[in-house]
Structure 1
Amino acid sequence: MKKVDRRKVLAGMSAGALALGLGARPLRAAKIEVTVAHGSPLKHVIAAQGVQPWMDRVTELTGGAVKFNYYPAGQIAKLKELLSALQSGVADFVPVPVGYVSDKLPLNGVSMLPGLGGSSQAIVTAHSDQLADGGALAKEFASQDCDPLWVMAFPPYQIVSTGDPIKTVDDFKGKVIRSAGGSMNLVINALGASPAEIPVSDMYVALERGTVGATISALSSLKPYKVDEIMKAASTNGSFGTFVNIFCGNAKKMASLPKEIRDAMVQAGKDTQTSASTFMDNEVGGLIKEFEGAGKTMYAFAPDQLKAINAELAKVQDEWVKRLADRGLPADKVLAKFRELTAS
């Protein structure tokens, strides 16, 4: 993919009344250059509702004082490489996919657990609040030289299959299901299936070739990766966890920026977090109707089966706490706080 050159776009943009009280003039004569990268298609919600709006909002708040060198869709770093790219300085800002780096950010996987929060907004608010309190979640990012700016989490994941609908606990038995890693592996194991850790960029090929027969995914991730073309069925009322991306800046780069620029980036992050979660929550109903119209079987689990599935998934939270506690990590406190925040 050819490098996206945003200079002409940014040069033509002008900010209105700046939230930082700086009027409509740029913050300084010389533009500050930063490099932004991600590993998702341009039409994916991470790019279209996350990274791009964040850059646009920073441009608005700073009067165009920041020049973005933008490398989308894995141009300089694949999904699993984004954290390393940020730490090495190859990129200054990236959305860190928590599930792909659970070895380095284990406690931040709490928001990916099943049964915590019924919407994108509930999940991102709880995670963002815990990051803001400077506790264990924030310390994990600090140890990786990252400054979190905003959180993006999908609405609760559903089970998507290329074969018959998976409607009961017994239907899961023996299945090989694509996983993004981390706590999603625990979810799949709890249901009697076998997880296959496969990056989302390879999800289509794995399903098409029959390497896996199903995936746990957000409905909004299906079209960007063309999974909607080969899927036959998907649930609508499950709560199989979610996937979380946390948009971060390289800590040294952030520290080098003028305070007014940092403040603009933080405010842009807050605005983007709110707008993205609202968009994703509102999108679910429309996607269900669209997939039904394309001949896909979209189904709700029967109450007795949903109860049985959730009973198995409840064990995942306990297993997650145990595994991390064995490593000396305060997973019980992190989970208790997250439950409190999502409940409120």
Structure 2
Amino acid sequence: MTGLLNRGKLGSAAIALGMITAAFTTEAAADTYKWITFKPQGAGDAQAISTQWFIDEFKKRTGDEHEIEVYWGGSVAKTREIPDSLAAGVGDFGDIVTPYFPDKFPLNNAVGFFIPQPKSTIEISGLMEKWHETYPQFAEELARSNLKAVGFRPLESYGLLCTTPIRSAGDLKGKRIRTYGFAYPALVEALGATPVSVATSEAYEALERSILDCTPIGPALAHGWKYDEVAKYYIEIPLGASFGHLIAMNLDTYNGMDEKTRAIVDQLGKDYAKNYAGELDKTISAVRAGWPEKGVEVIQFPADELIAVIDDERIQNVRKEWIGRAEAAGVPSDEIVEELRF
């Protein structure tokens, strides 16, 4: 009888141990991926909100089998460090500010060479998705840095925020306007203004101290950076939505996912654009609604006066530079150029 009891106890212990082992095995099979970003967690803007949405959706759609932990506020890698950090596997997901790397990712920064252009945030996102599906060279450019684009986050449509009213091209003559990249300096010069290179973090003081007269920006970012405290004229000049950020992955991490999880990430990337654009629209509407109380005046700029300078040789040379890079990579540029034409 004692032997039977002992065998029963041993059997129960074995079952319990098996259950514990199974639980640990299941837990071990779950993956926690790292997302590295320069955005502060409490930013409360469309970028931060939509990032959290992606993370929550990933966990939900994988049935809580996998999750993403975010390292906010540049705690792991600063803005310009993220591509190399992702490539090295320091993170699995991350935000790449594409215009900061026009030489490293020229194809994926196509829109940065075509300012002004007429497309909105959601339209640019759709074009980037289409180009990646149509031209393998876009993905190959990133793959050379061990990266994979899984989503697109264009910036909002830009105008000019100025310290004095600008009602026509004539009012821009001699104005000092913040520029960066290739297209903006050429456009500012074509409009008769002076391009000035000033970091985003320094533009508030530059506007306040009249080092700058204007900066290209959208309402959400103007409010987020508090520029609208020191510059009270928002000029509705149709510069178009800039292509801002890639939601990128370490390519090895992406390829190492099982087929089901990869499919979830791919669909999330497509769904992300709509969520982000919706959050951005809500922010822009709220900012615009609050501008009268802050004393910000919105001024319509004659669109035809902007469009008239697009044929300027300086602007066209910037566009030709991208066309040359695209054709050297084997990408037929005609359709892309046409899609970005006014």
Normalised by the length of structure 2, the TM-score is: 0.80
Deviates more, 1:128-137 or 1:237-246: 237-246
Supply the AA of the counterpart residue of 1:194: T
> Contact 2:59 / 2:68 at 8 angstroms: preserved in 1?
no
1:128 maps to 2:129: yes
Q: Which residue number corresponds to residue 146 of structure 2? A: 145
Cα offset, 1:274, TM superposition:
1.5
Counterpart-to-counterpart distance in 2, 1:52 and 1:326: 38
Counterpart-to-counterpart distance in 2, 1:44 and 1:249: 22
Q: Which has the larger radius of gyration?
A: 2
Deviates more, 1:320-329 or 1:174-183: 320-329
Q: Deviations over 1:106-138 (max 9, x none)?
A: 122222323434321111101111012243322
Supply the AA of the counterpart residue of 2:37: H
Give the unaligned 5+ runs of structure 1.
1-26
1:279 maps to 2:279: yes
Counterpart-to-counterpart distance in 1, 2:249 and 2:295: 42
Q: Deviations over 1:46-102 (max 9, x none)?
A: 2222x2111111111112223433122222222222222222322221121111111
SS at the partner of 2:309?
Answer: helix
Q: Which residue number corresponds to residue 44 of structure 2? A: 43
Q: Deviations over 1:114-173 (max 9, x none)?
A: 343432111110111101224332232222221001111123211012x20222223323
SS at the partner of 1:63?
Answer: coil
SS at the partner of 1:164?
Answer: coil
> Contact 1:99 / 1:182 at 8 angstroms: preserved in 2?
no
Q: Which residue number corresponds to residue 78 of structure 1? A: 78
More helix by share: 2
Cα offset, 1:179, TM superposition:
2.7
Q: Deviations over 1:241-288 (max 9, x none)?
A: 524211100111212222222222222111111121233345544432
Supply the AA of the counterpart residue of 1:54: F
Give the root-mean-square deviation of aligned CA atoms. 2.8
Q: Cα distance 1:81–1:203, how it changes in 2: closer, same or farther (>3 A)?
A: farther
Cα offset, 1:202, TM superposition:
3.8
Identity of aligned residues (%): 22
Q: Which residue number corresponds to residue 172 of structure 1? A: 172
Counterpart-to-counterpart distance in 2, 1:277 and 1:190: 31
Supply the AA of the counterpart residue of 1:61: R
Normalised by the length of structure 1, the TM-score is: 0.80
How many residues matched? 312
Q: How does 1:288-307 map to 2 (within 5 A)?
A: 288-301=288-301, 303=302, 306-307=303-304
> Contact 1:43 / 1:224 at 8 angstroms: preserved in 2?
no
1:319 maps to 2:320: no
1:309 maps to 2:310: no
> Contact 1:150 / 1:273 at 8 angstroms: preserved in 2?
yes
Q: Which residue number corresponds to residue 92 of structure 2? A: 92
Supply the AA of the counterpart residue of 2:306: I
> Contact 1:96 / 1:248 at 8 angstroms: preserved in 2?
yes
SS at the partner of 1:150?
Answer: strand
